[in-house]
Chains A and B, each alone.
Chain A
Amino acid sequence: MLLLSLAYHSLKNRLLTTVLTVLSIALSVALLIGVENVRVGARESFSNTISQTDLIVGARGGSLQLLLYAVFHIGSATNNLSYSSYEHWKNHPAVRWTIPYSLGDSHRGFRVVGTDKNFYEHYRYRRDKSIRFSAGRAPESVFDAAIGSDVAQKLGYQVGQKVTITHGLGGMIEHNTKPFTIVGIIDRTATPVDRSVYIPLEGISAVHVDWQDGAPPMPGEEIAADKITKEQLKVENITAFLVRFKTRLAVLQLQRNINEYADEPLSAVIPGVVLAELWATIGYAEDALRVVTFFVLIVGLLGMLVSLYTSLNERRREMAIFRALGAGPAKIISLLVFESAILSFLGCVLGLGIVYGLSFALQPVVERQFGLYLPIQAPTPTSLMYLGGVMIAGILIGFVPAWKAYRNTLSDGLSVRL
C-alpha cells in the first residue's frame, strides 16, 4: 500500500509526463478495442440482417454477389430469374415460405424493392424480429409503397404522400407517369430495410409496362396508370428469392436440387456459409489492421518506457534516500513497476472510456452513413484479453527502468553527489 501511494505521488509530481504517457497508452488501447468492437459489430450487424432464411436463390452467378445484392442491396444482379422458376420452387413441398425480390429501380438514392406480402409476414432479422410499421400498413394494391425509417426520416416522407420511381440506380429516367402512394413506414430495423422502398412485384411490372426492349416509351406512347390491365401486370421476372424450409435437414439436398435445376440456371446459397466466406476474405484486411494497431500499442508502451527511463537520472537521489531508509532492491524495483502498472491501468481505463464515449457519440452517425448498426456492449473476451495484455506488457516494461534503478542504487549506495 505504501509503495502504491508512493508511486501515485511520484506520478502526480510529474503530472505532465504522466498525463501524456497515459494518453498515449489510452489512445492505442482505444484503437485496439475500437477496431475489435467495429469488427465484431460489423459482423453482428451483417449476420443480424437476415435470420431464419435457409437459402438465397438468384440467377446463376457468384454466391457472394448474390448475398450482397439480395440481402444488403450492395451491387446489382447481372441476370434475373423467371417467375415460373420461382413458382416452381415456391410450391415445392419442403418449402415453408419464400420471399421474392425484384430489384433494379431506385428512389432518390434509395433502392426500390419489389416484393409481396410474404416479406411483411415472414422476413426476420436479429434472430426473430419481424417487420412492423411505425405508421400505416403493408402495401396492398399495385401503386402502394412502404418505406424504411431512414427513407422517411431523410426525405421527410409521411403516409399518404406520392412518390415516383427512377429507373436504374441513380439514373435519370423517372417513371413519373406512375406515382406510388406511401401507405406505410416500416419501424426501425437497423438493417438495409431502413434504406429501402418496398412496392409490390406488380408495381415493378406496372412502371415498366410501356417499355420495350429496355427502352422507355416514346413521348405520347406512355400508358397511364389507370389504363393498365391486369394482364399487363403479370410478373415475368424477379431478381432473387429467400427460402425457408419446413425442416433444416432439407437445406443441403434442396440447395443441390436448385443448383441443378434443369429449366433455368440458378444459384442457391446458404447465407451463413457465404458470410463466413466473406469474413474469411475480409480477414486479411482485419489482420493487417490489427498488426498496425499492435504497432501503435507498442509505440505507446515504448513512450512509457522512455518517460520512466529518462526520469531515472533525476531520481537517483530519491533512490539513495529510499536505500538509506532501509528500502531494499525489491522495494525500489516494485516502486517503479507500480508506476508503470498504474500508468498502464490508467491508460486502459481511459482507453475504454474513449472507446465507449466515441461509440455513444458516433453510433448514430455510423448507422446513418454506413448502415452499420454497431451495438454498444460489454468488452468482448478478445478485448478483455487485449486489456490484460496491455497491463502485463506495461508491468513487464516497468521492470526495465526498475532494473536500471536497482543497478544505480548498487553503484551509488548512499552517496549520490549531484
Chain B
Amino acid sequence: MAAPAIELKDVQFSYRAGKKILDIPNLTIDAGERVFLFGPSGSGKTTLLGLLTGVLNAQQGSVQVLGRDLAKMSGSQRDAFRGSHLGYIFQLFNLIPYLTVEENITLPLRLHSERRKRLKSGMHEEAKSIAARLGIDHLLHENVVNLSVGQQQRVAAARSLIGAPEVIVADEPTSSLDFDHRERFIELLFDCVKQANATLLFVSHDRSLMPMFSRQLSLPDVNRVSNTSVAA
C-alpha cells in the first residue's frame, strides 16, 4: 500500500483558548480510499475539513496530506497546496455565479499552473470530457444560474476533479439532492475518483449512503473531545 493520503497525529485545535474542538490522537486515510465521514452536528466535521484543507492551522500535532506537513507550511503555501492537490465540493452554491459552466470547471486550472500541467489535453477538451462523464457536457456554455441544483453539484464535482487532484473532499454534497439523484451523483463521483486514482473523503450525516463507501469513519470515535452534548 502506498503512503497514506491523510495522516493526523496528536492534533489539537481550538478556536478560542481553553475550548478544544478537536483532539485527534491518530487518523490515517490511505491513498485510494473512499471514506464516509459522519458525526452529529457540532462534532467538528467542518473544523476537521478546515484542518485537512489547510484553511485552519492546528495548534498542536501534525497534519500530513500527501506526505506534506501542512502545519509547517506558510499560509500562502497551504493555499497553493490546496489549489493544486485538493478538490473541494460544497454542500450548496458551489459555483461562481458570473462565470459559465465551463469557466467554473476550468477555474482551478487557471488559478494553479501545477494543476494545469497535469492535463493530458487542452483545458477545453479536458473540461469537455470530464463534463461528458458527469453528463453535463451539453451545459458547458450555460450560465450557471440556469442550472438545477443537481446539475450544479455535478459541475462542482467536475471542477473538483479536473487536473487530477489526489484528494477530493466533499462536504455534504448530496444533502440538497433527492434520493435518486443522490445515488446517481455518488456513483458518478466514484467513477471519476476511481479513474483519477484519487482519495475521497465524503462528509455526510445521511447514513443511508454509508454502505456505498469502502470505509466508514465516525468522527466522535476518533475525536477525544466530546462536543455532542453541545448540539443535539
Which residue numbers of A lie inside 8 Å of B, CB to CB? 2, 6, 9-10, 12-13, 317-318, 320-331, 413-415, 418
A13 to B75, CA, bound (A): 31
* Inter-chain contacts of A10 with B (CB < 8 A): 98
A328, B97: Cβ atoms closer than 8 Å = no
A318 to B104, CA, bound (A): 12
B193 close to chain A: CB less than 8 A: no
Q: What's the least CB distance linking A11 to chain B, in Å? A: 9
A325, B83: Cβ atoms closer than 8 Å = yes
In the complex, besides A414-B55, A418-B93, 17 extra interface pairs with C-beta distance below 8 angstroms are: A6-B96, A12-B98, A13-B97, A320-B90, A322-B96, A323-B79, A324-B88, A325-B108, A326-B83, A326-B111, A327-B111, A328-B80, A330-B76, A413-B55, A414-B50, A415-B46, A415-B171
B75, A324: Cβ atoms closer than 8 Å = no
Which partner residue on chain B sits nearest A8 by CB separation?
B98
A148 to B169, CA, bound (A): 84
A318, B96: Cβ atoms closer than 8 Å = yes
A327, B79: Cβ atoms closer than 8 Å = yes
B188 close to chain A: CB less than 8 A: no
B112, A326: Cβ atoms closer than 8 Å = yes
* Inter-chain contacts of A328 with B (CB < 8 A): 75-76, 79-80
Which positions 84-111 of chain B face chain A at CB distance < 8 Å? Answer: 84, 86, 88, 90, 93-99, 103, 107-108, 110-111
Q: What's the least CB distance linking A370 to chain B, in Å? A: 48
A114 to B79, CA, bound (A): 84
A13 to B145, CA, bound (A): 11
* Inter-chain contacts of B88 with A (CB < 8 A): 324-325, 414
Which partner residue on chain A sits nearest B114 by CB separation?
A326
A415 to B79, CA, bound (A): 16
B82 close to chain A: CB less than 8 A: yes
* Inter-chain contacts of B103 with A (CB < 8 A): 9
A9 to B144, CA, bound (A): 13
- Cross-interface CB contact of B90 among A12, A321, A322, A329, cutoff 8 Å: A321
B56 close to chain A: CB less than 8 A: yes
B31 close to chain A: CB less than 8 A: no
* Interface of B, helix, strand, loop or mixed by DSSP: helix
Interface size class of B (residues with CB under 8 A): 20 to 34
A344 to B6, CA, bound (A): 46
Q: What's the least CB distance linking B198 to chain A, in Å? A: 16
A325 to B50, CA, bound (A): 13
* Residue of A2, A10, A414 contacting most chain B CB atoms (<10 Å): A414
With A9-B99, A414-B53: A321-B94 Cβ-Cβ less than 8 Å: yes
A322 to B111, CA, bound (A): 9
* Inter-chain contacts of B139 with A (CB < 8 A): none
With A326-B79, A326-B82, A330-B76: A13-B90 Cβ-Cβ less than 8 Å: no
6 A-B pairs (CB sep. < 8 Å): A326-B83, A326-B112, A328-B76, A330-B76, A331-B111, A414-B88
B49 close to chain A: CB less than 8 A: yes
* Inter-chain contacts of A317 with B (CB < 8 A): 93
A326 to B108, CA, bound (A): 8
Which partner residue on chain B sits nearest A314 by CB separation?
B97
B98, A9: Cβ atoms closer than 8 Å = yes
* Inter-chain contacts of B159 with A (CB < 8 A): 325
* Inter-chain contacts of A321 with B (CB < 8 A): 90, 93-96
With A321-B95, A326-B83: A415-B50 Cβ-Cβ less than 8 Å: yes
A321 to B112, CA, bound (A): 15
* Inter-chain contacts of B98 with A (CB < 8 A): 9-10, 12-13
* Residue of B81, B93, B171 contacting most chain A CB atoms (<10 Å): B93
Which partner residue on chain A sits nearest B107 by CB separation?
A325
* Inter-chain contacts of B49 with A (CB < 8 A): 414-415
* Inter-chain contacts of B171 with A (CB < 8 A): 414-415
A226 to B110, CA, bound (A): 94
A331 to B79, CA, bound (A): 10
Q: What's the least CB distance linking A214 to chain B, in Å? A: 80
A414, B90: Cβ atoms closer than 8 Å = yes
CB-CB nearest 9 A-B residue pairs = A326-B83, A13-B98, A328-B79, A324-B88, A413-B55, A326-B82, A9-B98, A328-B76, A415-B46
Which partner residue on chain A sits nearest B110 by CB separation?
A2
A418 to B95, CA, bound (A): 14
B53, A327: Cβ atoms closer than 8 Å = no
Q: What's the least CB distance linking B219 to chain A, in Å? A: 15
* Inter-chain contacts of B53 with A (CB < 8 A): 324, 414
Which partner residue on chain A sits nearest B95 by CB separation?
A321
Which partner residue on chain A sits nearest B103 by CB separation?
A9
Q: What's the least CB distance linking B63 to chain A, in Å? A: 15
A329, B111: Cβ atoms closer than 8 Å = no
A10 to B108, CA, bound (A): 17
A239 to B82, CA, bound (A): 87
B56, A326: Cβ atoms closer than 8 Å = no
* Inter-chain contacts of A325 with B (CB < 8 A): 82-83, 88, 107-108, 111, 159
With A415-B46, A415-B50: A318-B112 Cβ-Cβ less than 8 Å: no
